[in-house]
Amino acid sequence: MDLDALEQGIILRIPAVAIIDPDPHSRAASFTELDTPTGVCIVVTQTCDAVRELAIEPYLQVALIRDVDQSIWARSRAGRLSPRYFALPQGSAEVARPVVDVRVMATIDKRLVLDDQFRLADRLAAALRAPFSEWLGRRFARYAFEDDLEQELLGPIRRRLAERYDSEQADGPLVRSIEGVFLSLMERSVKVLLLVEPGTKTRSQLDDEDKLRRAASQLFRPIFARAREHGWSLRTPICEASELNGFELLYEYQQVGLDLPRALEDADED
């Protein structure tokens, strides 16, 4: 493979990566070779650095690709509900339900990609390149909200979204359509914006204001009770991207990081 063809999102055959961990027999650090679960990793280095000449940018950063169960794959579609997993299209690089696991990253020499052993396995579809890049950025630039807001509202909201994801009641389709959650704060007044997929408001379960209102009411009922208990004034607008303007996204809202249920991730690690 030509180094000039490198880009973020290329999948390489990387059989193992090195992890620095504590040596159990001394106070020094040691290296552990960690087999990659699927034998493939994805390039997370920005394309402009990936193609830069070796003398300036001699290395690439790669992240593991794992094969996970259907529930985790669906919830981490385009990284929507996880800062750790980003689901790739099923069957990518011959992996049934692949996700990028950004918790394990490694640095490799660019020259490895010239070796047939590490030849290109696949590459990210063009439509996913921008969402993947944005997701990587959010992983390292997540906004740190105040502890009381996290404990009293944001934590319960994350748990509620996770709980209701599989619901067949009115709020289930709403949760499954979420692209992102954004927060606007002014003293004790909070707006929690649900940004949903284009076309969400024309689907049969949510195709009029009454249906949408009922779904939102069911979803947020315990959250509103908790907000009142802790003295927060809470609003929960639901919008498609076409209904927002640049000022709101750039200056009014901060994105809220969402999480897969801990139990699901633990089960996947077993």
Q: Map residue 100 onto helix, strand or coil.
A: strand
Same domain, 120 and 155: no
Structure tokens at 260: 């897969």
Task: Out of 141, 174, 191, pick the residue that ends a domain.
Answer: 141
What pLDDT does 29 receive? 77
Number of domains in the chain: 2
pTM: 0.79
What pLDDT does 217 receive? 94
| Structural contact between residues 182 and 254, judged by C-beta atoms closer than 8 angstroms | yes
Same domain, 166 and 234: yes
Q: pLDDT tens across 89-106, in order? A: 999 999 999 999 999 999
Same domain, 18 and 112: yes
Same domain, 106 and 176: no
What pLDDT does 269 receive? 55
DSSP state of 51: S
> What CATH number should be reported for the domain holding residue 160?
3.30.300
Place of tokens 């394309």: 47
What pLDDT does 270 receive? 45
- Domain of residue 103 covers 3-141
Same domain, 203 and 95: no
Q: pLDDT tens across 180-203, in order? A: 899 999 999 999 999 999 999 998
Same domain, 243 and 187: yes
Same domain, 154 and 175: yes
Q: Which residues of the chain have pLDDT under 70?
A: 1, 262-270
| Range 29-36 contact pairs with CB under 8 angstroms and sequence separation of 24 or more | 34/104, 36/64, 36/65
What pLDDT does 125 receive? 87
Task: Out of 141, 158, 174, pick the residue that ends a domain.
Answer: 141
What pLDDT does 83 receive? 86
> What CATH number should be reported for the domain holding residue 13?
2.30.30.110
Same domain, 182 and 228: yes
Across the chain, mean pLDDT equals: 89
Cα separation, 9 vs 130, whole angstroms: 10
Same domain, 60 and 124: yes
| Structural contact between residues 46 and 76, judged by C-beta atoms closer than 8 angstroms | no
